[in-house]
Structure 1
Amino acid sequence: MPHCSTVLSQIVRIFPRHEFQALAKKYHAGQKFRSFSRWTQFVSLLTAQLTGRDSLRDIVENMSAQTSKLYHLGIKPFSRSTLARTNETQPHQMYEALFQRLLTRCQGLAPTKRFKFKEKLYLLDASMIDLTLSLFPWAKYRKSKGAAKLHIGLDADGYLPAFVDMTEGKEHEINRARELELPKGSYVVFDRGYTDYTWYQDLCEEDIRFVTRLKRNAVAISGPKRRGRRSPGVLRDQQIQLKGVAGTFRKVVYLDAETNITYEFLTNALDIPAATVAELYKERWQIELFFKWIKQNLRVKSFLGTSRNAVMTQLWIALCAYLVLAFLKFQSKLGHSMQQMLRLLQLNLFERRDFMELFAPPRPKRLLCDKQLSLI
């Protein structure tokens, strides 16, 4: 049987060490480390995400129990205070840069979306993370409540988080949406929380198509109905103009046969079928599933430090863990869900075996001398 390093050691090879060390040198603050390193911080926090560790003590004890296998990872035992201090003081921007590099690699393997157009499709949304105001004073939300808001722009190719930011809970999502640099000609889908006519005008001028739901109190001037045969479920498809906004828009009224709910969609995409407009908005559900998945499977609701830097460090490493799973899923092409892969990794992270065999174990060979076969 060939010798194998631990599964975790094989996983972290996804991150080239020379690139990691270059980032660690670029984003270092304060005095030089003696025995600790940013690589040790990253591996320990990545392990915590993959194994579901909830506290600094839990992380340190878990790593200490695997002392004989740490040399495969290029790290040494460390103390809880050292890890806590590093999380508080070392810039989180390093892991943001690491996330962007891994994202580029994942996008090269990601499957393409199921729509016919070649342009990029992005799904925008934000989700609240409740925090204790007394412990996280920088995350003030209400008078006696703290919260942070996670802003995500999901790339529909592989459902990868292409745009990520975290703000105070009271920060409105439209403020972050205005700062996005979306590719020219791309599509973006969002809910009514992003309603802003000035931003709509900017998207039109930048040749970016959007799909959203029309607010009930929107002042719209009806135009001519669009010609052509209606697709099933499409009740109305007509051009409209919004009060105070230049340009022509499109209103699509769609009846969902499964829920019997009627939706009114607003878009500036005039050259796609009405049914595609409804399908694009339905695709927005994927970002809801994304938020649900990371909150249930990764550590993004309880944090190991109270400073904004510590929270952002944990958040970026959690998203790196998500990309690691996505990378393995795209690379293996075996059809496993990311949750199935995460469960397998949790049980075998420090085992010495080929990690690809976790997802595709070899079939046992049936010998001709098998007693049961000889009875047939």
Structure 2
Amino acid sequence: MRGSSTLPLICRNSSGLPSISASQVSRRMNQLPTALLEHLFYALTHLIKNLSRPASSGLLQRVGRLLLVDASCLKLPAFLSDWARVTRDRCGVKIHVSYAVTSPEHTFVQHMVPSTGNVSDYEGSDLLLHEEEVTYVLDRGYVCYERMDRWIEGGLNFVMRIADHHQANVLHEHPVPEGSRILRDATVQMGSGYTAMEQRVRLVEFTDEKGRLYRIVTTQWEASAEDIAEIYKHRWLIELFFKWLKQHLRLVRLQSTQPQGI
């Protein structure tokens, strides 16, 4: 909803209620019982999760259900949102999301956690990664060796992209299929010196159709290197979800600048 011109149309066409201005919506949102709305949201996602579980094979049956994890920023006007200041010139909030992929045709939001914009992606992951029966798919913003060690020790599986500068000490090279885009499949230990990981991970490097290099670390040892590449390629589904939020729900312009309303 972009403004007062949109709101009356929504009310008239969808609910039959009298029109309401954007300023009235903003004031009312600051008084909403958000704890009740949050409870309703998680009750619905829990129901969807249970309904999808019997037929849930994931994108790849040998890997199972995926949870795509990412965060997206929403800008706020600086002169009204000092509580959400990120830099001197920028204010904003973040939504940290885990997006379930239960089959190629079925996806849904499983968790959504709001924060101010200065909370890092990997800090947000502390509230999202806790299930042992899924594989988490994460981008480069979630690389934290201490957390990765903790995830492995807790029995969590992940497929994560790393940047070119991240050092991987190769312990064992595995054969790669001929004629594929797989460049490397190896057992590695990430980092160096006192910053090195304690746990070992698998490193898969591959190129896409445009020749771009991807470096993926994972705890999935049984899946093939092609499977790992395929899993990561489906991370774009959560990007489509964020695009839908901003374009169709108009979250590029929030109706409130107060924490309660947001």
TM-score by length of 2: 0.85
Partner residue of 1:206?
A: 154
> Of residues 128, 137, 147 in structure 1, which corresponds to 2:92?
147
Structure 1 unaligned segments of length 5 or more: list them. Answer: 1-52, 71-75, 312-376
Secondary structure of the corresponding residue to residue 189 of structure 1:
strand
Supply the AA of the counterpart residue of 2:42: Q
- Structure-2 separation of matches of 1:301 and 1:148: 11
Partner residue of 1:132?
A: 77
1:88 Cα deviation after fit: 1.1
8 Å contact from structure 1 (residues 56, 304) kept in 2: no
Give the strand-richer structure, 1 or 2: 2
> Of residues 255, 275, 279 in structure 1, which corresponds to 2:207?
255
Alignment of 1:282-297 (within 5 A): 282-297=233-248
Partner residue of 2:7?
A: 59
Supply the AA of the counterpart residue of 1:289: L
Q: Deviations over 1:69-100 (max 9, x none)?
A: 74xxxxx6586576544311233122111111
Partner residue of 1:101?
A: 43
% of aligned pairs identical?
24
Query: Is 1:234 the equivalent of 2:182?
Result: yes
Q: Deviations over 1:327-369 (max 9, x none)?
A: xxxxxxxxxxxxxxxxxxxxxxxxxxxxxxxxxxxxxxxxxxx
> Relative contact order: is structure 1 or structure 2 higher (C-alpha 8 Å, sep ≥ 6)?
1
Secondary structure of the corresponding residue to residue 178 of structure 1:
helix
Query: Is 1:271 the equivalent of 2:222?
Result: yes
Structure 2 unaligned segments of length 5 or more: list them. Answer: none
Alignment of 1:1-376 (within 5 A): 53-55=1-3, 58-60=6-8, 62-63=10-11, 65=12, 70=16, 77=18, 80=21, 83-107=25-49, 108=51, 112=56, 113-117=58-62, 119-157=64-102, 158-227=106-175, 229=177, 232-242=180-190, 243=192, 244-256=196-208, 258-311=209-262
Give the helix-richer structure, 1 or 2: 1
8 Å contact from structure 1 (residues 210, 268) kept in 2: yes
Supply the AA of the counterpart residue of 2:110: A
Q: Deviations over 1:144-203 (max 9, x none)?
A: 221111211111122211121121112111111022242113211111111100110011
TM-score by length of 1: 0.61
CA RMSD after TM alignment: 2.6
1:221 Cα deviation after fit: 1.7
1:61 Cα deviation after fit: 6.4
- Structure-2 separation of matches of 1:249 and 1:283: 21
8 Å contact from structure 2 (residues 204, 217) kept in 1: yes
1:296 Cα deviation after fit: 1.2
